[in-house]
Structure 1
Amino acid sequence: MCIALELLKKKVETLSQRHLPKRLDKWLDNQEVCAILRISPRTLQSLRSTGALSYTQIDRRIYYQEKDVMKLVGITGYRHKSRKELEK
């Protein structure tokens, strides 16, 4: 019985070591994403509906992974100009 417990302990330690490097990504809410992309909540809803931006919904709140938002900014250049930038 002691040998079986020791083997189980070693397996658990080995498995936990494999998963240590993984970290949780930062999650953003609607307001933060709208501020980063400089878009309205309705435009953000369109991005979700078309599949351009992946999201996770927990209860009634929607969250986005920061890396997905930044990828959208980097790849597509999707970032509306503010009114002040348009006036220049």
Structure 2
Amino acid sequence: MEIISIEDRTFDRMLKRLETAARMAEDVHRRFREKKMGEWLDNQEACILLNITPRTLQSLRENGMLAYSQICHKIYYIPEDIQKTLSLLLKRKEEQP
């Protein structure tokens, strides 16, 4: 076993930096804790809410009109993004003759 000695002020600076990093990690965790997977929607739920087919949903993703996250070949959507896309689709339907 090797023993390393450091000055008090060096140790105090290291400790303060470590405490700052811990506070930053806690803040990030607190901000993003609200986005749980239970709140995300899968393809089937998105199709039902938007009243569209899976192919149309794929087109929305490919065109960049709908944000998504992919985890292990499964695609998820944030409800807020679905709501924005729904508003956009409704506007397009109203504009069509």
Change (3 A) 1:60 1:16: closer
**Distance in 2 (alpha carbons) for counterparts of 1:59 and 1:21:** 25
Note the residue ranges of structure 2 that are not aligned, 5 or more in a row. 1-5
1:10 is aligned to 2:22? no
Equivalenced residues, count:
79
Aligned-pair Cα RMSD in Å: 2.5
Q: Which has the higher helix share?
A: 2
Q: Which runs of 5+ in 1 are unaligned?
A: 81-88
Say which one has the larger Rg: 2
Moved over 3 A (4+): none
Distance 1:68 1:39 in 2: 15
By relative contact order (CA 8 Å, sep 6+), the higher-ranking structure is: 1
Identity of aligned residues (%): 34
So what's the TM-score if we normalise by structure 2? Answer: 0.62
Alignment partners' CA distance in 1, 2:89 and 2:52: 14
Alignment of 1:31-46 (within 5 A): 31-46=44-59
Normalised TM-score (structure 1) = 0.66
